[in-house]
Amino acid sequence: MKTEQHELYEYARKRIKQKKRVYFHFVLLFLSSLFLFVATKVFKFNEGAHWHIWLITAWLFLFILHFTKVFITDRFMDKNWEREQIDRLVELQRKKIEELSNHINDEPTTK
């Protein structure tokens, strides 16, 4: 396999793994929330305190962060974005070095 094909394959494999984890996280959140709700309402486990609502809300918040990272942030900041940023920064660095070199060469030498 060529290097470029291998990079594409590894990137696709990584994205699939990330998406799989989000789906697993969602199923786990759903089943756990259902269990907590049933335990509290049906079996009257510590019914007076609403700790299950706080736990589900906190977990839902974490799931939303995870979902946002995988499906929004990582979608736009992929390998092409990384390459563009690296190329841009390398070009800026090259220009800066060139300006400094020209500045040093333009200074009159004093002896």
**Contact assessment for residue 101 and residue 45, using Cβ atoms and an 8 Å cutoff:** no
* Cα gap 80→53, rounded to integer Å: 41
- The answer to whether the Cα torsion of 21, 27, 31, 32 is positive or negative is positive
pLDDT in tens, 32-48: 999 988 888 887 777 67
- The answer to whether the Cα torsion of 94, 99, 100, 104 is positive or negative is positive
Of 59, 65, 66, 62, nearest to 32 (Cα)?
A: 59
| Predicted confidence (pLDDT) at residue 8 exceeds the cutoff of 90 | no
pLDDT in tens, 36-80: 888 888 877 776 777 888 889 999 999 999 999 998 888 777 777
pTM assigned to the model: 0.64
Please state the domain extents for the chain: 3-106
